[in-house]
Structures are given as structure tokens and as C-alpha cells.
């Protein structure tokens, strides 16, 4: 059986070998007589699954020891509230708006704090990144929030800002939902990173939070206990029942990631090389075409989410139905942007992008 290529923005394609291993282990995990879904989260078997997942993730992302790794629930959208509940102290927060997700984050934070827009690329339709030197960061900001990869608009920070160098002592919060584990993270510039699992790590239901220890313990009194980072950290992510099966699946994905190699590199460094090659293939095809178009500035184009347009939008329906027939799924763009979007996360093999480019070339020829 060959599976079609799934370009969904999320929930997204998972590595086939991970799905196959999960299928083998579905009814009986390693002689336990139970599916992982049926295990007590405090039992020995699941505790070992969870600890291994956390250790592998720490190794893969080179997370320093002064950061805690939390497995939570609620997704990126819940974190839009949970972060200000924990970090804002009810004060002011500066947002760098670079697309739909950071815009949403600012709006939600404003319920619990004073959300200020320090910079925005709204004027150019979210197709560029405002240079950090132009950001209006307040001295009283409790933290600065940005979305390091805008899933809808296809804008990615290829370097995180050095807030200290900008004269700002506030911690940087990043929403890395849609490019976590696709590239290394410079933790020296980050106070907290969060992301839903369903794009690059595993199934929906698990939310990853990586937080510097000194930021724990400042939650507002109204913060739900299950969302207080300190409570979650003190209880090893088991204050409430964690999303056990999603953690297990993410753990299998981490092991798959550790096995990746490319040009003498392994793990995240290897997958980064693969991701670069995949993105370059698609962008260079689009840029060399008179038929297709990508509108994002070249220095901040996402390696994960590539929105593109047919110059003649009357052909959109034919493009999508032909793609579906060719085994290329979920290419329709987000409703707020239109056109097409190819999400090519870690689990998308190079062959999938090659198949997409071949289809795009053929489609153009049939339309001449």
C-alpha cells in the first residue's frame, strides 16, 4: 500500500514508520498486556515512556538544564491565555505581530494583561518581518511575545532576536507550534517556548512548554491550578492526567528524529538540512514560474508552510482536484489568505515535495 502525500497544516502527516510501530504495539505494549491508552499514568510502564520522551526531547532540542519541559493540554490557543496568566503579573506585554497567530495571541492576552503591539507587518499583508531594531519595546514589559513560524502566512524567523542587545531585559516568549524540532533553538534568547504537538511532534492533544525555571511561580491568583506552570512542573506534568497516548506517539517521533542523518549530521541538525532542501526545491520552482507565485519576502520565508497562488485563480478548483487525484492531499490555502498552501513538516519526505513539483509542472502544461 502506498500512502498519498498529506500537505495538511495540522493535524499533519506523521512518519510512516512511527504509525506502523504504534499499530504493532496497539493491543499489547511490550508484553504489558495493555495498550498504552489503558495504562495508569502513574504506573511504571507509562512513567518510563514519559521519562524517555522527555529525555529524548531535551537531547534533540539541546534544552539547557535550567529549563523545564512540561507536557500540557489545551494547544497553542490555550497557551495564548496560559502564558499571560503565568508571566504577565497583570502588567504590560509587548507583541510582535507577524501574522494570524501572533495577532490572535495578542488579542487573548489582553484579557489578562495589557497587550501592546510593538511591531506589525499587517500593512504588507504579513509578508515580511519588521527588523528588531524598529520594535517599540517598553521598559515595563513583563515579556515579549512572537510567533517564530507563522503557519498561515508562511513567515518564519530564521534568527531569534537578541532582546538584551535591543536594551530589553524582558524574557522572550515564542510560539513555535509549527516549526518545533525542525531546526535548533537558540535557548540563550528564549524564556519560554510553547507549541501544540499536531504539526511536527505527534497527534493533537499534547502541548509542549519549555520554560526557564526563574519564570515559574508568578501565576495570577485566578490561574487554574492545572495551568499554573509551577504546579505542572512540581508534579512532573502529572498534576492532572496528561495526554498519555499523545505523549507516547510524540516519544516514538522523537526516536525517529534521533535516527535521522544527513551529511554527517544527526537528529534535529539532520532534519534541518532535509527541511532546507525540501523548501528550496519548492520555492525555486515557484520563483522560476510565471504561473505560480509566493508573496513572502525571501529572507523570512517559512521552511514549513509555503503559501502559493496560481496567477489565474480561476484555475484553483482544477488544480486542487487534479492534486487530489494525484495523491497530493490538503493543498487548499487557509481561508484568510486564499490560494494554496503546502505544509512540509519534518515527516514530509523529499519525494513528497518532488511529487508536488512534478504535478505543478504538469498542471501548468495542461493549462497552456
Tell whether residue 177 is a contact of ligand PLP (CB under 6 A). yes
Task: Say if strands 261-262 and 5-6 run parallel, antiparallel, or are unpaired.
Answer: unpaired
Which of 175, 181, 184, 106 has its CA nearest to residue 141? 106
**154 dihedral zone (left: phi>0; alpha: psi -120 to 50; beta):** left
Out of 77, 220, 226, 320, the only residue in the binding site for ligand PLP (CB under 6 A) is 77
Residue 255 annotated in ligand binding: no
Nearer to ligand PLP, 77 or 117 (CB): 77
Q: Across the strands, what pairs with 174? A: 146, 193
11: cis peptide before it, omega within 30°? yes
The dihedrals phi and psi of 100, each to the nearest 5 degrees, come to -60, -35
Nearer to ligand PLP, 47 or 204 (CB): 204
Tell whether residue 101 is a contact of ligand PLP (CB under 6 A). yes
Nearer to ligand PLP, 121 or 178 (CB): 178
298 is catalytic: no
Residue 47 cell numbers, joined = 512513567
In the complex, the smallest distance separating the C-beta of residue 74 from ligand PLP, rounded to whole angstroms, is 7
Taking the alpha carbons at both ends of the chain, their separation in whole angstroms is: 34
Nearer to ligand PLP, 11 or 327 (CB): 11
Distance of CA 170 to the CA centre of its chain: 23
- Active-site option among 135, 175, 228, 230: 175
Residue 101 annotated in ligand binding: yes
- Active-site option among 29, 56, 199, 278: 199
Pattern 144-163, binding to ligand PLP, x per CB under 6 A? Answer: ---x---x------------
Residue 42 annotated in ligand binding: yes
Tell whether residue 196 is a contact of ligand PLP (CB under 6 A). yes
Residue 313 CB coordination number (10 Å): 11
- CA angle in degrees (0–180, nearest 5) for 143-146-149: 155
101 is catalytic: yes
Which of 147, 137, 151 has its CA nearest to residue 106? 147
Tell me which stretch binds ligand PLP (CB under 6 A): 12-20, 153-161, 174-182, 351-359: 174-182
In the complex, the smallest distance separating the C-beta of residue 72 from ligand PLP, rounded to whole angstroms, is 11
Residue whose C-beta lies closest to ligand PLP: 75
In the complex, the smallest distance separating the C-beta of residue 254 from ligand PLP, rounded to whole angstroms, is 19
287 is catalytic: no
Q: Helix (H, G, I), strand (E, B), or coil: what is residue 150?
A: strand
Nearer to ligand PLP, 196 or 352 (CB): 196
Nearer to ligand PLP, 19 or 77 (CB): 77
Residue 189 annotated in ligand binding: no
Out of 18, 67, 76, 343, the only residue in the binding site for ligand PLP (CB under 6 A) is 76
Which of 10, 31, 57 has its CA nearest to residue 210? 57
For cell 531546526, name the residue.
Answer: 183
Tell whether residue 84 is a contact of ligand PLP (CB under 6 A). no
Residue 288 CB coordination number (10 Å): 8
Cα 165 from Cα 193, distance rounded (Å): 20
Nearer to ligand PLP, 10 or 171 (CB): 10
- Active-site option among 29, 101, 135, 256: 101
Tell me which stretch binds ligand PLP (CB under 6 A): 81-89, 107-115, 170-178, 264-272: 170-178
Which of 177, 176, 173, 187 has its CA nearest to residue 143? 173
Residue 300 cell numbers, joined = 523570512
Out of 10, 243, 307, 352, the only residue in the binding site for ligand PLP (CB under 6 A) is 10
Which of 346, 316, 345 has its CA nearest to residue 331? 316
For cell 506502523, name the residue.
Answer: 20
Residue 241 annotated in ligand binding: yes
Q: Report the interface residues with ligand PLP, using CB under 6 A.
A: 10, 75-77, 101, 147, 151, 175, 177-178, 196, 199
| Residues catalogued as catalytic | 101, 175, 199
Residues annotated in a binding site: 42, 101, 151, 175, 198, 240-241
Amino acid at each position: 500500500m502506498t500512502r498519498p502525500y498529506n500537505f495538511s497544516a495540522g493535524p499533519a502527516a506523521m512518519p510512516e514508520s512511527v504509525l506502523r510501530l504504534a499499530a504493532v504495539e496497539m493491543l499489547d505494549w511490550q508484553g504489558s498486556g495493555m495498550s498504552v491508552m489503558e495504562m495508569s499514568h502513574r504506573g511504571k510502564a507509562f512513567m518510563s515512556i514519559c521519562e524517555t520522551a522527555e529525555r529524548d526531547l531535551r537531547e534533540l532540542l539541546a534544552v539547557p538544564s535550567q529549563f523545564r519541559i512540561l507536557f500540557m493540554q489545551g494547544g497553542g490557543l490555550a497557551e495564548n491565555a496560559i502564558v499571560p496568566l503565568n508571566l504577565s503579573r497583570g502588567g504590560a506585554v509587548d507583541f510582535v505581530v507577524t501574522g494570524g497567530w501572533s495577532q490572535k495571541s495578542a488579542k487573548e492576552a489582553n484579557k489578562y494583561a495589557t497587550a501592546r503591539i510593538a511591531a506589525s507587518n499587517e500593512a504588507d499583508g504579513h509578508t515580511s518581518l519588521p527588523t528588531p531594531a524598529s520594535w517599540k519595546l517598553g521598559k515595563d514589559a513583563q515579556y515579549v511575545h512572537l510567533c517564530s513560524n507563522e503557519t498561515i502566512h508562511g513567515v518564519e524567523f530564521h534568527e531569534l532576536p537578541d532582546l538584551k542587545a535591543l536594551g530589553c531585559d524582558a524574557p522572550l516568549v515564542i510560539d513555535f507550534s509549527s516549526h518545533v524540532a525542525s531546526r535548533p533553538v537558540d535557548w540563550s534568547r528564549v524564556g519560554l517556548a510553547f507549541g501544540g504537538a499536531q504539526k511536527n511532534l505527534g497527534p493533537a492533544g499534547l502541548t509542549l512548554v519549555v520554560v526557564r525555571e526563574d519564570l515559574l511561580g508568578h501565576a495570577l491568583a485566578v490561574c487554574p491550578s492545572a495551568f499554573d506552570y509551577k504546579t505542572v512542573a512540581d508534579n512532573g506534568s502529572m498534576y492532572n492526567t496528561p495526554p498519555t497516548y499523545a505523549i507516547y506517539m510524540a516519544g516514538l517521533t522523537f526516536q525517529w528524529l534521533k535516527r535521522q542523518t544527513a551529511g554527517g549530521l544527526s537528529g534535529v541538525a539532520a532534519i534541518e538540512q532535509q527541511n532546507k532542501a525540501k523548501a528550496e526545491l519548492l520555492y525555486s520552482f515557484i520563483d522560476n514560474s510565471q504561473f505560480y507565485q509566493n508573496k513572502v519576502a525571501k529572507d523570512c520565508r517559512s521552511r514549513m508552510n509555503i503559501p502559493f497562488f496560481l496567477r489565474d485563480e480561476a484555475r484553483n478548483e482544477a488544480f486542487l482536484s487534479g492534486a487530489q487525484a494525484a495523491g497530493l492531499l490538503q493543498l487548499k490555502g487557509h481561508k484568510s489568505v486564499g490560494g494554496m498552501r503546502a505544509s512540509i513538516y519534518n515527516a514530509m519526505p523529499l519525494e513528497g515535495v518532488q511529487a508536488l513539483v512534478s504535478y505543478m509542472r504538469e498542471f501548468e502544461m495542461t493549462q497552456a
